[in-house]
Amino acid sequence: MFRSFSKKPDRFCTYCKKIVSGEKLNRHILRQHHMNDEVKVILTKSKEERTNFFYQKRREGMVEYNLELFKNQKEKEEILLMRERKPKHEDSLKMCSRCNRFLSNRTFYRHRKTCDTNTADPVSPKCLVPINRHKDQEFHEQILQKFRDSEVGKLCQSDELIQQVGYRHFSLRKSETSKREEIRKCVMTEMRELARLFIKFRNLSVDDVSTEDMFLRK
Ligand SMILES: [Zn+2]
Ligand SMILES: [Zn+2]
């Protein structure tokens, strides 16, 4: 893929899957994708909401672009990751486990203070390459098989979305071998909470609902 060397960092547009360089991403979105439903809606919102939306889009673009690079990376090949700012000094790029921003290892400690000191951990982008959870023995043995035979437990073992959320967390922190037990508990708690929330949601709903429906704003 072509990367420019202009002063502005490149951005990736999640709508047209193209690299946007030399132009701000929000301008690109407004020009090229103003007919998109999501964009149409956000244009009716407050300035603050719009700013947040574009910020979110920028971040999503970076995550998507970088993951794609890693997926296609050949062994020992160096890849140039998309990032928030261009570095002044040589560094390595980390992803924040909480907010998904790509940041320099040099400034991560500073970011951590403003993000969340408990859960914002630097993750090496190498750990982000999605692994198929169906093939991940560890996830099956350490997480899925440990749920009890209750309504909540069964839902965790059968629901696609709950498992995806759990697996994402699990694989992000897989490299922290010293905290294994803690991570295991944390992932299972998170999955149980989602399952409980869904059960409540289902009881309140008249129609048949799925876990995805919980995240749809209506
Ligand atoms: Zn676009
Ligand atoms: Zn963060």
Query: What is the pLDDT at residue 99?
Result: 83
Query: What is the pLDDT at residue 178?
Result: 83
What mean pLDDT is predicted for residues 166-192? 88
Listed residue (8, 18, 60) closest to 38, CA to CA:
60
121 CA to centre of ligand 2 in angstroms: 8
What mean pLDDT is predicted for residues 11-26? 91
What mean pLDDT is predicted for residues 135-154? 88
- As for how many domains the chain has, the answer is 3
Query: What is the pLDDT at residue 16?
Result: 95
Listed residue (179, 178, 211) closest to 197, CA to CA:
211
CA distance 151 to 195: 9
Q: Is the pLDDT of residue 176 over 70?
A: yes
What mean pLDDT is predicted for residues 8-22? 89
Residues 143 and 207 in one domain: yes
Percent of the chain scoring above 90 in pLDDT: 36
Listed residue (97, 105, 12) closest to 59, CA to CA:
12
Q: Is the pLDDT of residue 218 over 60?
A: no
Residues 78 and 90 in one domain: no
Residues 91 and 157 in one domain: no
pTM, to two decimals: 0.50
Q: Are 171 and 129 in contact (CB under 8 A)?
A: no
Residues 114 and 186 in one domain: no
Q: Which ligand has its closest atom nearest to the C-alpha of 59?
A: 2
Q: Which ligand has its closest atom nearest to the C-alpha of 107?
A: 2
83 CA to centre of ligand 2 in angstroms: 13
Q: Which residue has the higher pLDDT, 115 or 66?
A: 115
Residues 19 and 74 in one domain: yes
What mean pLDDT is predicted for residues 140-167? 90
16 alpha carbon, distance to own chain's centre: 19
199 alpha carbon, distance to own chain's centre: 25
Query: What is the pLDDT at residue 18?
Result: 93
Q: Which ligand has its closest atom nearest to the C-alpha of 32?
A: 1
pLDDT in tens, 29-63: 999 999 999 999 999 999 999 999 999 899 889 88
In the predicted model, what is the mean pLDDT of the chain?
84
Q: Is the pLDDT of residue 152 over 80?
A: yes
pLDDT range class, residue 168, cuts 50, 70, 90: confident
Q: Which ligand has its closest atom nearest to the C-alpha of 25?
A: 1
HSE on the CB side for 204, CA within 13 Å? 8
114 CA to centre of ligand 2 in angstroms: 8
Point out the domain boundary residue: 62, 97, 126.
126
65 alpha carbon, distance to own chain's centre: 12
Which residues span the domain enclosing 199? 133-215
pLDDT range class, residue 4, cuts 50, 70, 90: very low
Residues 62 and 37 in one domain: yes
Handedness of CA 193, 199, 203, 209 (dihedral sign): positive
What is the helix (H) or strand (E) element at residue 122, kind and residue range?
strand 122-123
